[in-house]
Structure 1
Amino acid sequence: MRRPKNIKQNDTSLQNHSELVKERTMKHAIFLAALLGMSAVAGVSCASLPETPATSAISREPFYAGLVTRAAQLKAQMDGFAPSLDARARPGFDAFVRDIRALAEDDMKAHLDLKARGTDSDLKCILKGVSLDLNIKMDAILAAKNEAELATAYQDMSLLLSDNIDVIVTPATAESGLDCIIEFGAG
């Protein structure tokens, strides 16, 4: 396409206009890049801050911290077992059973401690349930007739040990506790 003759005369003004548009575009691009760069830096700064998980005050008391440590150790052991009926006859399995039963007893002691303090009815109730369930899950492991039943029992025990840790470490919420009161009563 050909330019009209009168545009030739205005070539310098078009060239100046073109340079002005390029200059503005560059300024906008630089501004946008700076803005995006600042966002990226801010995003990196915020993202690099370590997230501190909330923990309950009670989980820092020695007795309750000990429950968490023991449950974590027993969970690691549990997760290391292969679902084999022969595993129950191996050395060390009897000690594992005793340690689970002892943890159940101490979870019940924790329930009674919290009941005596008159505080934290939710945790008090959950620890009572975990105490009862640990023995039930261990009985299921001991009663398993085949490897499929044993695998299910192992998984249930592993999940319960995780729950044992989580209920002590996680702070209570305002709406928690109603289910426990319904299941076990206010005491």
Structure 2
Amino acid sequence: MSCAALAATTLLWMAATPAPAQPAAPTPAPATALEPLFADIVARAQDLKAQAEAMRETEAPATEAFKTGVADLAALDSRGQQIVRDRGVDGDLACILRGISEDLPVKLAALQLAADAPARDTALRELIYLLNDNVEVLLAPPGPASGLAPDGSV
């Protein structure tokens, strides 16, 4: 076998084998999460989630400040949805923020209308889950369908 044939065979063989695994670099938060409005949404959702968890543990009633906080967060999510939609960069995020903005008042109403302890617990768990989603959707890296690179660039 000639040297050229051996080199070509070796090259083909090396190209067919998988590259050694590289350690995955930590994925930074997407650029959207660093903007003041979206950072505020994350901070408020985390705070309201902590309050809701405390209410669940202590069986304390929802305060007026908590109710106002949920309403304000829903309004911020709606505004964030409009900003993301107008940019046209991530349709999934816009849809999710819209859904959260519409669901927050519904979950709060379910909490207020809960007739007994099990219904109240269920309403609080659902509200906590939604508040957690509000945080995670903004801090999660963009997915492949979003059209954005994992570093947040286009």
Fold similarity call, TM over 0.5:
yes
Say if 1:83 and 1:147, in contact at 8 Å, map to a contact too.
no
Give the number of equivalent residue pairs: 125
Say if 1:84 and 1:150, in contact at 8 Å, map to a contact too.
no
From 38, 44, 66, the counterpart of 1:96: 66
In structure 2, do the counterparts of structure 1 residues 169 and 86 end up closer, same or farther at CA, with 3 Å as the change threshold? closer
Say if 1:141 and 1:154, in contact at 8 Å, map to a contact too.
yes
Q: Name which structure has the greater RCO, CA cutoff 8 Å, separation 6+.
A: 2
Cα deviations by residue, 1:136-176 (Å, 9 ceiling, x for unpaired):
10010011000100000000000100000000111221236
- Identity among equivalent positions (%) equals 33
From 101, 115, 119, the counterpart of 1:149: 119
From 56, 74, 85, the counterpart of 1:115: 85
Say if 2:30 and 2:141, in contact at 8 Å, map to a contact too.
yes
- 1:82 and 1:103 map into 2 onto residues whose CA distance is 20
Q: Which residue of 1 aligns with 2:32?
A: 58
Cα deviations by residue, 1:93-125 (Å, 9 ceiling, x for unpaired):
011001101100110000111112222111011
Say if 1:84 and 1:147, in contact at 8 Å, map to a contact too.
no
Normalised by the size of structure 2, how large is the TM-score?
A: 0.74
List alignment gaps of at least 5 residues for structure 2.
1-22, 148-154
Say if 1:122 and 1:172, in contact at 8 Å, map to a contact too.
no
SS in 1 for 2:120: helix
SS in 2 for 1:81: helix
SS in 2 for 1:82: helix
Q: Which residue of 1 aligns with 2:12?
A: none
In structure 2, do the counterparts of structure 1 residues 86 and 54 end up closer, same or farther at CA, with 3 Å as the change threshold? closer
Between structures 1 and 2, the one with greater helix share: 1
> Shift in Å at residue 83 of structure 1?
6.6
Normalised by the size of structure 1, how large is the TM-score?
A: 0.61
Point out 4+ residue stretches in structure 1 off by more than 6 angstroms.
83-86
